[in-house]
Structure 1
Amino acid sequence: MKKDNIVKYSKKHSLAVIITALIATSLTACDKAKNDISSQVSIQTNTQASTQESHQETAISLQNTPSHNLAIWPAIQSEVIADKSIEIKVKQLLATMTLKQKIAQMIQPEIRDITVEDMRRYGFGSYLNGGGAFPNNNKHSTPQDWIDLAETMYQASIDDSVDGSTIPTMWGTDAVHGHNNVIGATLFPHNIGLGAANNPQLIEKIAQATATEVMTTGIDWVFAPTVATVRDDRWGRAYEGYSEDPEIVKVYAAAVVHGLQGQAGEDFLGDDRVISTVKHFIGDGGTVGGDDQGDNISSEEELYKLHAQGYVGGLTAGAQSVMASFNTWHGKKLHGSQYLLTDVLKGKMGFDGFVVGDWNGHGQIAGCSNENCPQAINAGLDIFMVPTDAWKPLLENTIAQVNQGVIPMSRIDDAVTRILRVKYRAGIFDKPSPANRQFSGKTELIGNEKHREIARQAVRESLVLLKNDNQILPLSPKLNILLAGDAADNIGKQSGGWTITWQGTNNENADFPGGSSIYDGIAAQVKSAGGHVELSEDGNYTKKPDVAVVVYGEEPYAEGNGDRENLLYQRGSKTDLALLKKFKDQGIPVVSVFISGRPMWVNAEMNASDAFVAAWLPGSEGKAVADVLLTNKQGELQYDFTGKLSFSWPNSPDQVVNRFDENYQPLLPYGFGLQYGQTSTVLNNLPETYKLIENKSGPTQIFNGKVEKPWKMYLMANELQTPITSSSQQLPGINYRTIDKVIQEDAFKITLDGTSNAGFRFVTANGFNEDISSVKKDDASLVLTMKIDESVNKLIILSMNCETVSDEAGSCRADIDISKALNNLPKEQWANLSISLDCFVKQGVKFNKIMVPLALHTQSPLTLSMSNAYLAPNANSSSTDNVNIAVECAL
């Protein structure tokens, strides 16, 4: 842990946690201290200790691991009972399999890291597409492209010419709010909105519609539902949870499993159903500080009562797969917990399906790597999810460990028995190949009207009315209505993360054929009724409106990228509040429609609004919002508000509050939600001041696992450039793809073949210059965390630029050759490259009007990976383990 990260870390952890971390960090620093060498460009090697701090389980825990008590856990009777005929088939097939064939059933690679020939050679039991991975690396792959890949992989898996196996493979996908990786699919509200609807029958319909659209593309298996009970809204996956209380979670888990898999009996896992996965086992919603992949320190009784109820519901309904969680329980990684995976889940709770890992989660176990982890198998993991090129050494190492007795053969046979059992139950051996199944190729089912109407119902029922002064809502469609805010006509923003791309970013409305924005719905009804509607993101108008409907909220995010230190909305940049006040100052009534993946502290925004609607993340059917906000032409209600908070609304930016807390004082309680005609209880003078520890010396991020605001990333090749909108892209001479450094897709790799002058650049997203002069202090640097695979033989030009993007020789541009520094980097090892900002100032860069904070291009063959890029003061002296190598600033 670097010193400049301690302040940020302290905001989400107790003193005991900080002291423990500081002691560990100090020991590492003393053990690995190196002499600093002053220079303008330096190389800082990431130490093994810091890598282990990120990758492996920590000892940070506020109490000792509790003694285990199996009596706490229930014996669950699944609706799906054992079938003797299936058990006989499994046993007979298992007896014919070689060790290599068995281990191949336990390996799940990702579509970007295997070929059809790999499938033919190894016969993997399953494979997946990660969030933002597509057939042919094409974001706009058609449903037929998905079917074609499913068919070729299936045919390769049953081809015994190389591996001797004819066991069909399975494709798993994260269809978490509809078939969300496929262009044109119906996208339902995220789980937080569905929790507010509190309608299990609707949830089952949503799951069945999702199963149908998934089956249309020939896919067998869905990684849903998420059944986390969210106890800290700062968690970046809060919107994946239905509620802070297990009451709804338990019921919904059963409803989703029934919708995806069907009911036990004739309907179970038929031609119109998919295998479901309850995830993530267990406690991911209760980590300290809401840290994604952090430590859950609940007692065992709390672990069961709060965090296991979704599994009680889902396993009772017959879920056939459980996904292990990234988090730890009292410092022990769940992927390596024999007690929880085997003794509790498979033993006491009687789960007879298979346990699949999460994205290289096994590699985070102490003593493990992505390529080598017998501990996970011995603990009870049945399938390694290994989405990188680590799958091959992992397979080979696991075979060797069985032969050496490190992994008992009985454990392998148990795992493969579970996998084959589920395949037989799901009819994988008997169903036609993916291209010939009941729904395959019926592309009219993708985003069909019946499914979209289910989604519109979910949108209407998920909306929660928090404030309605003077009964301003519902609005007459005959009024002159202004639609403002950057989410008013933005289907990507209203859909959130896990939407086409993993983070839900870099999407345009054109990426949602058949979908609708909130503006679309209001505009259609207002125009039909004879009213007037105007769309203006910044709030300017041609005719003064009767009312302004302002749609705004959080930018899309997924998993750890959404972790927050507090719940203050737009901290330090209150642009949306300024827009609301602009209307209030002009005497224009304001209706706020708030888009978010969690409750947030928006006191100021509520004060500036006459009505306030929590719309959560409604998905692709934004037009349904108008059904609730507007009356019909005759002035009659179309739909009333029925949504109720399934998360308590915070009373302060740093409040962690949950139903049944001993001192329960939220701003708005669990279950709150107004209907038309009810008097608002939210006052107009809510406190707007707060006390939070400011970190004024923090870095200005450009890239940190994702492109940070206000920047946008482009690939360049000669005169061509294209924005990064997918996890894999290319231009002539350059290929780009996301990779894993510590967690899923937190870095990118570019590969250049030297045939063109190619590279990448970060540019202001809005086309305007940015003032980042506050970072320009003594010893301030541009820091890049990168890895290089081979030496380079030509110039590697790193640039900053302002004035205009195309200003190749302007007065506000700097070019620095970093080829010598790159050649001094340790090969195939992550390291920090620090470049003094004085290098750029001397060439004329003005930090008060930056347009391109970072660009890199070369004509040299190059394979370079990057996980971090930021501007920070005192970067050269922020760590004691620097290895600094001086180079010239100038080109």
Structure 2
Amino acid sequence: MNISTKLTVVALSTLTVTACLTAKQEPGGQEQKNQQLSAKASLESQGIASKALWPKDIHRVEKSKLLETRIDTLIATMSNEQKIAQMVQPEIRSMTVTDMRQYGFGSYLNGGGAFPNNNKHAKVGDWVQLAEDMYQASIDSSLDGSTIPTMWGTDAVHGHNNVIGATIFPHNIGLGAMNNPGLIHQVATATASEVAATGIDWVFAPTVAVARDDRWGRTYESYSEYPAIVSRYASEIVSGLQGEPGKDQFDSEHVISTVKHFLGDGGTVNGKDQGNNLSSEQALIDLHAQGYFSALEAGVQTVMASYNSWHGSKMHGNKSLLTGVLKDHMGFDGLVVGDWNGHGKIPNCSNNSCASAINAGVDIIMVPDDWKAFYHNTLQQLSEGTIKQERVDDAVRRILRVKLRAGLFDNPSPASRLANNDKHIIGSQAHRDIARQAVRESLVLLKNNNNLLPLMPRQQVLVTGSGADNIGMQSGGWTISWQGTGNSNDDFPGGSSIYDGIKTQVSNAGGSVELSTDASFKQKPDVAIVVFGEQPYAEYDGDISTIEHQPGNKQDLALLRALKAQDIKVVSIFLSGRPLWVNAELNQSDAFVAAWLPGSEGNGVAEVIFSKANGEANYDFVGKLPFSWPKSDDQNELNFAGAKNQTANYQALFSYGYGLNYREHVLVSNKLNEQSHLQSAASGAEHSYGLFNRRPENNLEFYLADAASPELLVTGNYATTPGSDNLVFDSVDWKKQEDTREFTWSGNASASVYLKGEQHIDLTELDLANGQLVFDVKVSSAPDAAVFLGMACGNNCAAKLDISKQLQALPVTKWQQMAIDISCFSQAGLNPGQITKPLIFESSSAAKFSIANVRIAKGGQGSNCSLSGN
């Protein structure tokens, strides 16, 4: 029996004795206790917290009388306009330096995929220049009368991941697998240094969610399903980002940290992003709040409110937790910042107006686009008394306190700070070495039958799979772009793909390596290393309905089977943001490595799976599962947490904490159950093929083309045909953020937009089953000439149909669904078994329309080839 177990037994025994004594001395004691529990449960059902259960006064930051006096003086001189401006946070794509000079915003941010001058390849100097311009505008009192410096916040969640050339560390789930608090401190310190080098003051990290349902799209932002790891990490990350109190805190190489998302985002029903958490208050404390306790003890200065609800109460409007528990009871004296338009999700609120969030305790409202209306509406609510003056003054006091503690009033401007504009800091070798070590320690060896690993490097090696030479895929979401999509290896200067690392190991030893994406080869290999897994995603785009990998579209499994059919040994490197049901893929693998999302230093993978020339391992596997690995596809919630909050009848394929090393000899069955428990979902998936749903699916990407440029990969949210405006491509919102693609043809010349992947798509079965190309469409400006919808199966194999009449017939600005039978294309000469471009729009007419939810589904009539719409 360990010490913690003994303590638990003693505590339970004490409680039992106390309860007996109370019941004996007071006949009505148990009834009173039941009434208290009933009252507590009633409060919980309304999303109201009880302070008594929470630790008290744990935000251990020494208050300075001198600093508080300075704040008093500042507040006394501020107008209400200046105060409200401190509480409004716009985004750089919807504001200008002139706006900053006029309003004097307390802060601003760059969201995922936002860059200085809207230039994805902005240099370090461009980031510093924007920071300098905004800073100088904020202290310019000529228009707003304020000289209070602004602060810039950014989502640097696994390195300075918005900046080209920065070091991209493994996502949190991989860092959790290494379970190394000392190394996580180094990761945070390196991240802070790179952020500070671009003139940015504030990082929206760490995320301390404890994910409970692996279908959640943010599972990879969680270090573990076990709160103890999250708690140990949170304090290390905060001190790494902000620096150590009394030592290097908030010096030129450290930044302000934000612990997020408060509270319970990892425990929503069915793992739905922004959903409802129905945990008891005690479970909220035991599971979801542990990272906040250690972060507060480490002196974190900001907390971000969460999108999710607790028992139906939106966290952005939950005063009992934000003010009652966090600020009043736990003693947090920093600021609470809202998430991207999170205030707008509160009942009776909108993106441009929400007194409820401010009254609940949100001090800075993140309102990226509607900031001007929000500013004026909040001023009106203050004058009407809907928001009290003391609440505004409290919010401003907290904002100024954080700024003064961080030295923003006294430090040099961004362009003059010591670390800024130092090109040697961004992506430095020292930082890449830390990332490379993190990659090595994050790898978890699930299977190594017959001790296939480590591989001798001096042999014929085939490297294949969609992730083999794909730094964007191995980095995942929140990497350069918001979703992590649209990136090529050229966008990671100084980085290395997994193939790069393998090639180095093999070539240096005198072996031979061949790369392919489809398992083809010129010379039969001694071993095949297959790198496959999830495509990048972020937030709700990553929510899934089943934990089965590639349900109904087993491209990766087909590749593995093709290799095994040729009696080739297979090493699988699985890239994912969560554990997934991969029994079939495991059965086809001699060795299987969970590599998570390792980031820009893919060479760290090869250093572990290959040996030295003498057969001795370079590095052993040390990673252990931070999440339980499912044995069946219905184990969405599979959580080990000791004796507390563990999933009932816990039966994992690989338990929490599992991970082989080279000293262990474990034989994993090649006959794991491959039968899905979700037959209805699986059978339905077999009759559909996704092309675009908020982002391209199935390894597809958007391209533009015209006569001047035969092919341009769309790598961001906005693009035009090179050297012209023949076709403008834009990402816009319909039901969710950036869930729609809008195309605008100028009418000057012919141009096309299409989806294309590296591997061909076989639609033969869907063609024979009366499959249809289906999509939602909204016409903004109808064409006056031909608009072609088509598919292609190679350079000289294509089919297209004119849909201009159908587009002209649709009501303008209203969403409609359009469908056409696949057989219409095959009748026109398309080979449905060799599709390279499953969606093409081409026109020389002036036109503007948007598409969403593009897929190929069963349901056509198989009769004529007229388009259907409704």
TM-score (normalised: structure 2): 0.87
- Is the counterpart of residue 644 in structure 1 residue 624 in structure 2? yes
Matched ranges for 1:680-759 at <5 A: 680-695=666-681, 696=684, 701-709=690-698, 711-715=700-704, 719-720=708-709, 722-731=712-721, 732-733=724-725, 735-749=728-742, 754=746, 756-757=748-749
What is the deviation of 1:703? Answer: 3.0
Query: Are the structure 2 counterparts of residues 84 and 459 from structure 1 closer, same or farther at C-alpha, using a change threshold of 3 Å?
Result: same
Higher RCO (Cα < 8 Å, 6 or more apart): 1
Counterpart of 1:37 in structure 2 is none
SS in structure 1 of the partner of residue 804 of structure 2: strand
Q: Retained in 1: the 8 A contact 2:694–2:852?
A: yes
Q: Distance in 2 between matches of 1:841 and 1:587?
A: 41
Output aligned runs, 1:417-496, within 5 Å. Answer: 417-496=397-476
Residue 34 of structure 1 corresponds to which residue in structure 2? none
Is residue 506 of structure 1 aligned with residue 495 of structure 2?
Answer: no
Match of residue 801, structure 2, among 789, 810, 813 = 813
Write the distance in 2 (CA, Å) between the matches of 1:597 and 1:75. 35
Distance 1:519 1:221 in 2: 35
Matched-pair contact (CA < 8 Å) for 2:766–2:857 = no
In the other structure, the counterpart of 2:357 is 376
CA offsets, 1:575-608, max 9 Å, x none? 2222222332322222111111111111111121
1:268 aligns with 2:249: yes
**1:353 and 2:346 correspond:** no
What's 2:776 paired with? 784
3-state secondary structure, aligned to 1:172: strand
Q: 1:861 to 1:121 in 2, by over 3 A?
A: farther
SS in 2 for 1:194: helix
Structure 1 counterpart of 2:258, which letter? T
* Aligned equivalents of 2:826, 2:626: Cα separation in 1: 56
Q: 1-side partners of 2:102 and 2:356: how far apart? A: 26
The whole-number CA distance in structure 2 between the counterparts of 1:84 and 1:67 is: 34
User: Residues of 1 paired with 2:860 and 2:815: CA distance?
Assistant: 10
* 2:664 aligned residue: 678
CA shift in 2, pair 1:712/1:589, >3 Å: closer
Bigger mean CA deviation after superposition, 765-774 or 358-367: 765-774
Local SS of the residue matching 2:490? helix
**Counterpart residue identity of residue 531, structure 1:** G
Tell me the secondary structure at the aligned position of residue 800 of structure 1: strand
Q: CA deviation at 1:382?
A: 1.0
Q: Hey, what's the Cα distance between the residues in 2 that align with 1:286 and 1:279?
A: 14
2:391 matched to which residue of 1?
A: 411
Is 2:808 the counterpart of 1:825? no
In structure 2, distance between residues paired with 1:705 and 1:727: 12
Q: 2:322 aligns with which of 335, 341, 359?
A: 341
CA distance in 2, matches of 1:369, 1:726: 28
Q: List per-residue Cα deviations over 1:661-705 (Å, max 9, x = no partner).
A: 331111111111111121215222211112214353886544322
Q: Which moved more, 1:118-127 or 1:192-201?
A: 118-127
CA RMSD of aligned residues (A): 2.9
Q: Would the aligned equivalents of 1:238 and 1:598 in 2 still touch at CA under 8 Å?
A: yes
CA offsets 1:548-569 (integer angstroms, 9 cap, x no match): 2222111111111111111111
- Per the alignment, residue 68 of structure 1 pairs with 49
What is the identity, as a one-letter code, of the residue corresponding to 1:593? I
What does residue 63 of structure 2 align with? 82
* Distance in 2 (alpha carbons) for counterparts of 1:460 and 1:729: 37
- 1:761 matched residue in structure 2: 753
* Distance in 2 between residues matched to 1:248 and 1:838, nearest whole Å: 52
Distance in structure 1 (CA, Å) of the matches to 2:393 and 2:287 = 33
Kindly provide the CA deviation profile for residues 489-527 of structure 1, in whole angstroms up to 9, marking residues without a partner as x: 211111111111111111111111111111211221222
Give yes or no for the alignment of 1:525 onto 2:505: yes
Length-normalised TM-score, structure 1: 0.85
Deviation at 1:481? 2.1
The answer (yes or no) to whether the contact 2:197–2:421 under 8 Å persists in 1 is: yes
One-letter amino acid of the structure 1 residue matched with residue 136 of structure 2? Q
Question: How has the CA–CA distance of structure 1 residues 74 and 507 changed in structure 2, closer, same or farther, with 3 Å as cutoff?
Answer: same
Native 8 Å contact 2:783 2:804 kept in 1: no
Could you tell me whether the CA contact under 8 Å between 2:58 and 2:293 is conserved in 1? no
- Give the conservation status (yes or no) of the 8 Å contact 1:160–1:166: yes
Structure 2 counterparts to residues 559-578 of structure 1, below 5 A: 559-578=539-558
Question: How far apart are 1:843 and its partner, in Å?
Answer: 12
Hey, what does 2:368 align to over in structure 1?
387
1:518–1:267 CA distance, 2 compared to 1 (3 A): same
2:763 equivalent to 1:771 = yes
Would you say the 8 A contact 1:210–1:260 is kept in 2?
yes
Q: Which moved further from structure 2: 135-144 or 450-459? A: 135-144
Amino acid at match of 1:307: H
1:750 and 1:91 map into 2 onto residues whose CA distance is 53
2:221 to 235, 240, 243: 240
Change (3 A) 1:804 1:551: closer
SS in 1 for 2:256: coil
CA contact (8 A) 2:734 2:740 kept: yes
CA distance in 2, matches of 1:779, 1:199: 51
Aligned counterparts, 1:194-205, within 5 A: 194-205=175-186
Change over 3 Å in CA distance of 1:65–1:532 after alignment to 2: same
Instruction: Give the one of 115, 118, 138 matched to 2:99.
Output: 118
Q: Give the 3 Å change call, closer, same or farther, for CA 769–638 of structure 1 in structure 2.
A: closer
Gaps of 5+ in 1: 1-60, 877-886
Inter-partner Cα distance in structure 2 for 1:152 and 1:502? 25
Contact 1:816 1:889 in 2 (8 A): no
Q: Secondary structure at the match of 1:837?
A: strand
**Which range moves more in the overlay, 347-356 or 702-711?**
702-711
> Secondary structure of 1:712's partner?
strand
Task: Give the count of matched residue pairs.
Answer: 808
What is the identity, as a one-letter code, of the residue corresponding to 2:714?
Answer: I
Go from structure 1 to structure 2 and tell me whether the alpha carbon gap of 1:798 and 1:340 turns closer, same or farther (over 3 Å shift). farther
For residues 846-865 of structure 1, the aligned pairs below 5 Å read: 849=832, 851=837, 853-855=839-841, 857=843, 860=846
Deviation at 1:177, TM superposition (A): 0.6
Cα distance between partner residues in 2 of 1:759 and 1:833: 24
**Kindly, what percent of the aligned residue pairs are identical?**
52
Superposition deviation, residue 746 in structure 1: 2.9
Q: Show the counterpart of 1:5.
A: none
Q: Distance in 1 between matches of 2:72 and 2:164?
A: 41
Equivalent residues of 1:781, 1:834 under 8 A apart: no
